[in-house]
């Protein structure tokens, strides 16, 4: 005669196992959806549109999308080497876009082939001097330091634009659009929390913008922290507002850099746009 108590315990254990497996499958599916849409493990606010989502793809394929800078950035897209290297990652992406390959630095691991890598760039003597590497602990880079370090490279132009109170949002947005249309490259410096993301100050390239009459402009933010966030469309005003936060080390607002092939290091003023 079977033991009813043992049978009940066995059935209960089996039901528990099925419940746990269902919970695991649901959690795993949710994580897969977040990774598929470039959200990593952190949810983004609804105004940000993941690049790989149906809406994100639709924006990119639209006739109203200006994407001259996208393809070079996509070809040279890198993941920052560690969680403090957003500046170096953004820099080498941009340098590989604008500098002839034969003139790039040679990383020993890829020798004899010239190609900017985060390690090779950060070990360049001029860059090390600008950033004070070796004399103090690494704490990331300010907008001015990123510009100065990029200017160690010959024959490129690096223009620094601070998102301070003398520049309204419309002027900054129009300047970014104009430069992207003219074939320049933009590196944005934002405070992540101002676009409802997890983190602090961050650098990443802007690769395209979408503009339609009487609708808000969107910029494609190609996040170099690819393990955390994928590329995303950001409303223009939100992006600029995230640039207005002060860098705690420099005491100045954040902003963006305009990088092109002709070398003229310049800080923009209100008179320029």
What tokens appear for 151 in the block?
A: 């200017």
Q: In the chain, pLDDT over 90 holds for what percent of residues? A: 71
Determine whether domain 42-272 maps to CATH 3.90.1150.10: no
What tokens appear for 73 in the block?
A: 């950035």
Distance between first and last Cα of the chain: 91
Domain boundaries, the chain: 1-36, 42-272
143-195 confidence digits (pLDDT tens): 999 999 999 999 999 999 999 998 899 999 999 999 999 999 999 999 999 99
75-111 confidence digits (pLDDT tens): 999 999 999 999 999 999 999 999 999 999 999 999 9
What tokens appear for 82 in the block?
A: 């560690």
Answer whether 0.85 is exceeded by the pTM.
no
Dihedral (Cα; 181, 184, 185, 191), 10-degree rounding? -70
Contact 169, 236 (CB under 8 A): yes
Contact 140, 201 (CB under 8 A): yes
């Amino acid at each position: 005669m079977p033991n009813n108590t043992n049978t009940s315990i066995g059935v209960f254990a089996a039901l528990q196992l099925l419940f746990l497996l269902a919970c695991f499958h649901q959690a795993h599916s949710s994580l897969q959806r977040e990774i598929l849409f470039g959200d990593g493990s952190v949810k983004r606010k609804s105004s940000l549109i993941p690049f790989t989502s149906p809406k994100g793809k639709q924006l990119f394929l639209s006739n109203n999308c200006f994407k001259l800078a996208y393809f070079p950035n996509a070809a040279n897209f890198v993941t920052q080497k560690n969680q403090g290297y957003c500046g170096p990652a953004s820099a080498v992406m941009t340098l590989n876009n604008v500098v002839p390959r034969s003139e790039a630095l040679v990383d020993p691991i890829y020798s004899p082939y010239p190609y900017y890598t985060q390690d090779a760039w950060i070990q360049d003597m001029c860059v090390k001097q600008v950033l004070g590497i070796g004399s103090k602990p690494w704490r990331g880079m300010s907008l001015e330091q990123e510009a100065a370090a990029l200017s160690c490279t010959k024959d490129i132009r690096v223009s620094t634009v601070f998102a301070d109170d003398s520049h309204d949002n419309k002027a900054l947005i129009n300047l970014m659009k104009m430069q992207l249309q003219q074939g320049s490259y933009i590196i944005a410096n934002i405070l992540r929390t101002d676009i409802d993301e997890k983190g602090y100050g961050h650098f990443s390239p802007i690769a395209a913008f979408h503009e339609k009459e009487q609708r808000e402009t969107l910029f494609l933010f190609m996040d170099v922290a690819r393990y955390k966030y994928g590329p995303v469309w950001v409303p223009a005003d939100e992006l600029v507002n995230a640039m207005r936060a002060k860098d705690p080390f420099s005491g100045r607002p954040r902003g963006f850099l305009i990088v092109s092939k002709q070398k003229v290091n310049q800080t923009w003023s209100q008179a320029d746009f």
